[in-house]
Amino acid sequence: MMRLIYGYARGVEAVNRRIGRITMYLIFVMMAVLLYSSFSKVVADVTGWSDPTVAVNLPNFWTLETAQFIMVAFYILGGPYSLQLGSNVRMDLLYGSWSDRTKAWADAVTVSAMIFFLGVLLYGGLASLAYSLGYYGMEPLVFYRELITSVFTGETAEVLGRFERSPTAWRPYLWPIKTIMCFGFVMMLLQATAELIKDIARIRGEQF
- What are the tens digits of pLDDT across the range 12-36? 999 999 999 999 999 999 999 999 8
Tell me if 77 sits within 8 A of 180, measured CB to CB. Answer: yes
User: Residue 2 corresponds to which amino acid?
Assistant: M
Say if residue 190's pLDDT is above 90.
Answer: yes
The model scores a pTM over 0.85:
yes
Say if residue 150's pLDDT is above 70.
Answer: yes
Q: Which long-range contacts (CB under 8 A, 24 or more apart) does 3-10 make?
A: 5/197, 6/197, 6/201, 6/208, 8/194, 8/197, 9/193, 9/194, 9/197, 9/198, 9/208, 10/194
Burial category of 166 from C-beta neighbours within 10 Å (exposed 0-12, middle 13-18, buried 19 and up): middle
For residue 50, the model assigns a pLDDT of 53
In sign, the C-alpha dihedral spanning 125, 126, 130, 131 is negative
Rg, C-alpha atoms of the chain: 22
For residue 45, the model assigns a pLDDT of 61
Where residue 170 falls among pLDDT bands split at 50, 70, 90? confident
